[in-house]
Every structure is written in C-alpha cells, then in structure tokens.
Amino acid sequence: MTIRLITTVTALLALVTGLASAASYPEAPIVFDKPVTGVIFSHKVHMDKGLSCEMCHNRLFEMQAKKAQGNADFVMESLYQGKYCGACHNGSLAFAANTRCATCHIGVKGAKRLSDGGTQEETHEH
C-alpha cells in the first residue's frame, strides 16, 4: 500500500512539475522475451504521457534494458501485487495489468515484426 501511495504521489508530482520534458530515452521499444515472447514497453508512449525517468528508474526497473526479465518474480502475479508495471497499471493510475492483455503483449508475431526491422509497432502504439 505504501508503495502504491508513493507511486501515486510521485506520478502526480511529475505531471505537475513537468520533469519529463527534457529527458532522453531509448527510441526503440523494449521487447521482453521472458517469461513469454513479445511484451512491449515503449518509452515514447510513456514519456508522451508526461511521465519522468525517475518514476520507474531505478526503483521499479533498472536502467539496463530487459534486466527485469532475469528475475524469477517477473510474472503477472507480481504485477498484480504492485511490482514492476503493476505499480501504475493497477486500474487507477493506468489500466489494470489483468486487463487489455494484448496491449503490451504483442506476441511472437509482434516481436518478429519488430526484429525484422519494422517500426510499425511503434506506430501501432498510438
């Protein structure tokens, strides 16, 4: 509960102060491949919503891309408990992690399309 409160406060602060405006971030979306193939995270989509780096880094995710997928607890159950994406994707800040599955899960097909050099998925994200 404390984590959720802190997150909420931080998110609101970030939105108010506009800390996100000048941040630089990886252009290409991150595509996790464990424990299942093809889970997309787009920095751009999240930055465009006015979030800042510090909101997730390094508390929820380390700077090194896809490091989290090495953790044994990088599973949906953890998200439901407020870890990782679940910190915001809880149904109040952002859509709950147990809904809209195929929004982040682009699947084997989506991952393949991205690795084949297409940037379509980025455009699909809007």
Partner 1 sequence: MNKLDLNNLKNEGVENVPMQERRDFLKMGLAITGIFAGGTILSAVSTFNTANAADFAKKYPYSPHYSMVMHQDRCIDCERCMAACVATNHVPNVPGAYRTTILEKDTPDAVGGKREFIPVLCNQCNLPQCTRVCPTKATYKDQTTGIVLMNIKKCIGCLTCQEGCPYNARYFNEEKKAVDKCNFCWDTRLSKGEKDTACAHACPAGVRIFGDLSKQDDPVFKTVHQIEKAVWVLRPEAGTRPNVFYTKG
Using rule CB under 8 A, residue 109 touches partner 1: yes
Alpha-carbon torsion 65, 100, 89, 36, what sign? negative
Using rule CB under 8 A, residue 114 touches partner 1: no
| Nearest-5° Cα angle at 40, 115 to 62 | 105
How many residues contact partner 1, by CB under 8 A? 20
The smaller minimum CB distance to partner 1, of residues 58 and 71, is found at 71
The total of other beta-carbon atoms located within 10 Å of residue 66's CB is 16
Using rule CB under 8 A, residue 125 touches partner 1: yes
Using rule CB under 8 A, residue 82 touches partner 1: no
The total of other beta-carbon atoms located within 10 Å of residue 32's CB is 19
- DSSP type of residue 63: S
Least distance in Å: CB of 32 to partner 1? Answer: 11
Using rule CB under 8 A, residue 108 touches partner 1: yes
The smaller minimum CB distance to partner 1, of residues 82 and 110, is found at 110
Structure tokens that stand for 69 in this block: 């997928």
Partners of 39 in beta bridges: 32, 105
Using rule CB under 8 A, residue 59 touches partner 1: no
Select from 100, 115, 118, 119 the one that contacts partner 1 (CB under 8 A).
100
**What is the rounded distance in angstroms from the CA atom of residue 118 to the CA atom of residue 87?**
30
Binding site for partner 1 (CB under 8 A): 35-39, 95, 99-103, 105-110, 124-126
